[in-house]
Structure 1
């Protein structure tokens, strides 16, 4: 989900895109009515094999995984990552877990969350969980930015950007963590914004990292872009990508370092 937004954002940031939708839906599933179906994992594997046979994976700069409706889809994503790295070992792998959220918890079967943890997490250079997903993946409580740092480091991944971390009564922190530094950008809680802002945050982060920026500048720019997207989308039924120019955001927030 959020595929159209992700592809459009990355294209506008100057990156070639190859998109493989794992599910095709009429609209976001949190609307009262929704129709569609998942793309069979074996079909995805066939698509990946064709891309590989045509030599199209040799130019891939980054793989961003997102909504994977079954454990078999997670296995297909792992297959794609293996194929890309066989052709381009330096390709960046970003894992957006997309299996749960607050306040409802898991919205996919637990087998999916376990497969993401066990199959995709070890392959990822960058992980972009929300608060619930970070707590699930780490097995630790995450109620503050400091707890997010501890949980993120327990994943043993080079970069973690954890979103929607509670920070005061009306704010949320986006916490970026590496082995040597941890910092956050705080944003206000928003109401009346379409779903998919986490998708755009992951897409923007991936694009800035692929452009050669470091984790902290990339996170700052991604947070700024997502903020611009939110501002442009208030009151609309879907995200207003064209109006927001999120990938061009210049109002980049300064990060606040977290000790420890």
Structure 2
């Protein structure tokens, strides 16, 4: 499998491509990383250095890949955080080119906007752009519950309202949806859930909620679920594998006391996930 991953990159820490590439490589996926920024560290520190890469420069890198005749071999285009409005056009152009070269290829979009605790942390135009242009072009999306609410104009909190919101967004284009960070009032205390939905049904999985803020964990989640789902077409299995891998990563990061993900140290969790969480079909 080959994945063209168009995301940010940082030198220190793990977000964007700097979070997604190694776990994908560790499970045997060939990744073609294209950077949209090249920062010293993620912006959660409040200060960083390095350039935001101009859309035309990102486009040039993708054109160079096309010149090598590689596009027919690409199985997935993956995108995450979009720092500026112009990157969306570059991504959508890349998706169109890849799908023209390989009709079986899919586009997986992580529509990064924010979360329930901090609200939106992207430029005001980005959520609207994602909702109106980018998400409808995707085959698979991986929003958190907050982002799903914006995309659908709803406030999902219960399982039923979250499933309804997923149905709404699937009607706009994407056939497969992974909802991360599902928090519903009737769940067991101290837990958090993820929900995967495709044409075959809907599945939910529950894990302990660890007391840490882990920048980049969503990027790892989107990447691993995308790869597993693309390989098998089995949403339940992809959900189980991804959940086990990401929980292992988060648990090790929490034990370490470090702020940054212990990405390399957790590599065995990607290659051989413990499969310790049961996935339940809810539809």
Report the alpha carbon displacement of residue 36 of structure 1 after superposing the two structures with TM. 2.6
* TM-score w.r.t. length of structure 2: 0.87
What is the CA distance between 1:22 and its match in structure 2?
1.0
1:205-220 matches, cutoff 5 A? 205-220=225-240
Structure 1: where are the runs of 5+ without partners?
A: none
Cα deviation digits, residues 5-56 of structure 1 (max 9, x gap): 2011111111111001111221121114222331111111111111112112
Distance 1:210 1:179, change over 3 A: closer
- Tell me the residue number matched to 1:49: 63
C-alpha RMSD of the superposition: 1.5
The answer to whether 1:134 aligns with 2:148 is yes
Q: Establish whether residue 82 from structure 1 lines up as the match of residue 96 from structure 2.
A: yes
1:92-134 deviations in Å (ceiling 9; x for gaps) = 2111011211212111122111111222212211110011110
SS of residue matched to 2:229: helix
Give, in whole Å, the separation in 2 of the partners of 1:186 and 1:135. 20
Stretches of 4+ moved more than 6 A in 1?
A: none
Does residue 164 in structure 1 map to residue 186 in structure 2? no
Distance across 1 between alignment mates of 2:87 and 2:106: 20
1:206-230 CA-to-partner distances (Å, cap 9, x unmatched) read 1212322411211111111100110
Q: Does 1:96 find its partner at 2:110?
A: yes
Q: Report the counterpart of residue 252 of structure 2 in structure 1.
A: 232
1:26 pairs, out of 24, 35, 40, with 40
Go from structure 1 to structure 2 and tell me whether the alpha carbon gap of 1:252 and 1:126 turns closer, same or farther (over 3 Å shift): farther
How far apart in 2 are the matches of 1:195 and 1:132?
Answer: 16
Query: Residues of 1 paired with 2:20 and 2:135: CA distance?
Result: 20
Secondary structure of the equivalent of 1:17?
strand
Contact persistence 1:99–1:133 (CA under 8 A)? yes
Contact 2:210 2:251 in 1 (8 A): no
| C-alpha separation in 1, matches of 2:104 and 2:53 | 28
- Give, in whole Å, the separation in 2 of the partners of 1:242 and 1:35: 24
Shift of 1:254: 1.7
Structure 1: how far apart are the matches of 2:246 and 2:197? 19
Partner of 2:4: none
Aligned to 1:251: 275
Q: Distance in 1 between matches of 2:112 and 2:73?
A: 26
Picking from 49, 54, 66, the partner of 1:40 is 54
* Deviates further, 117-126 or 8-17: 117-126
Unaligned stretches of 5+ residues in structure 2:
1-14
Q: Which residue of 2 aligns with 1:111?
A: 125
How many residue pairs were aligned? Answer: 259
SS at structure 2 position matched to 1:97 = coil
Change (3 A) 1:180 1:58: closer
TM-score (norm 1): 0.94
Q: Deviations over 1:59-78 (max 9, x none)?
A: 11111110111121111111
